[in-house]
Chain A
Amino acid sequence: MTTTLRFRYAKLGKVRFTSHRDVARMWERALRRSGLPVAWSKGFSPRPLLSFGYALPTGCESVAEYLDVHLAEEEGTPDRPDGEQSETSADEQRPWSPAGCVAALPGRLSPLLPQGVDVLAVGKLGDGVDSLQQAVTSCSWELEVLGVPAEELATRVEDLLDARSAVLRRERNGLQADGDLRPSVRALTVLGAVDDVPGQKVARCRLHAELATQPRGLRVAELVQRLGADLTLVRACRTQQWIERDGIRCDPLAMTGRAEDSFHAPHAEGRAS
Chain B
Amino acid sequence: MDSLWSSIEPLLDGVSTPGRYVGGELGARSPVHDPGRVSWLLVYPDTYEIGLPNQGLQILYELLNERPDSLAERAYAPWVDMEAALRGAGLPLFSLENHLPARAFDVIAFNLSAELVYTNVLNLIDLAGMAVRASERAAGDPIVIAGGHCAFNPEPLAEFIDAFAIGDGEEVVGEINETLAAHRGTDERWSDRAAVLRSLAEIEGVYVPSLYEAHFANGRLLGVSPRLPDVPATVSKRTVADLADWPYPRQQLVPLIEVVHDRLNVEVFRGCTRGCRFCQAGMITRPVRERPAEQVFTMVQSGLERTGYDEVALTSLSTADFSGIEDTVRRIISDPQHGEHVAVSLPSLRVDAFTVGTAAEISRVRRTGLTFAPEGGTWRMRRVINKLIREEDLYGAVDAAFSQGWRRVKLYFLIGLPTERDEDVIGIAVLAKRCVEIGRRYHRSPTVTVSVGGVVPKPQTPFQWHGQDTIGELRRKIDLLRRACRGVRGLTLRWHDPEATAVEGLVSRGDRRVGAVIERVWRAGGTFQEWSERFDLRLWLDALAAEGLCLDDVVHRSRDRDEVLAWDHISAGLHRDFLWSDYQDSLNEAVVEDCRWTPCYDCGACTSGALEHVVASPVPPAGGSQGTGQDLSCGDRVPVRVLGR
Contact = CB atoms under 8 A, between A and B. Distances in A.
Interface of A: 14-15, 17-19, 21-22, 25-26, 28-33, 40, 44-46, 48, 58-59, 112, 114-116, 233-234
Query: Most chain-A CB neighbours within 10 Å: which of B19, B307, B367, B368?
Result: B19
B341 A19 contact: no
A29 B308 contact: yes
B257 A33 contact: no
B258 A116 contact: no
Query: Most chain-B CB neighbours within 10 Å: which of A14, A22, A58?
Result: A14
Contacts of B590: none
A208 B254 CA distance: 36
Nearest to B310: A32
Contacts of B18: 17, 58-59
B277 to A, nearest CB: 39
Contacts of A116: 24
A15 to B, nearest CB: 6
A22 B258 contact: yes
B22 interface: yes
Contact of A46 (B13, B258, B307, B341): B341
B222 interface: no
Interface of B: 10, 12-13, 18-19, 21-24, 26, 254, 256-258, 262, 305-310, 339, 341, 365-368, 405
Contacts of A15: 22, 24, 256
Contacts of B368: 45
A48 B308 CA distance: 13
Given A45-B365, A46-B365, A14 B308 contact: no
B310 A22 contact: no
Nearest to A27: B308
A18 B256 contact: yes
A63 to B, nearest CB: 19
Query: Most chain-A CB neighbours within 10 Å: which of B12, B306, B405?
Result: B12
B308 A28 contact: yes
Nearest to B21: A17
A11 to B, nearest CB: 11
A58 B21 CA distance: 13
A14 B5 CA distance: 10
A112 B308 contact: yes
B341 A59 contact: no
Contacts of B339: 32
A22 B12 CA distance: 17
Given A25-B258, A45-B366, A14 B23 contact: yes
Contacts of A26: 256
Contacts of A14: 22-24
B22 A17 contact: yes
Contacts of B24: 14-15, 114-116
7 contacts: A17-B21, A18-B19, A19-B257, A33-B305, A44-B405, A45-B366, A59-B18
A29 B366 contact: no
A231 B7 CA distance: 20
Nearest to A48: B341
A11 B449 CA distance: 42
Nearest to B14: A59
A227 B341 CA distance: 50
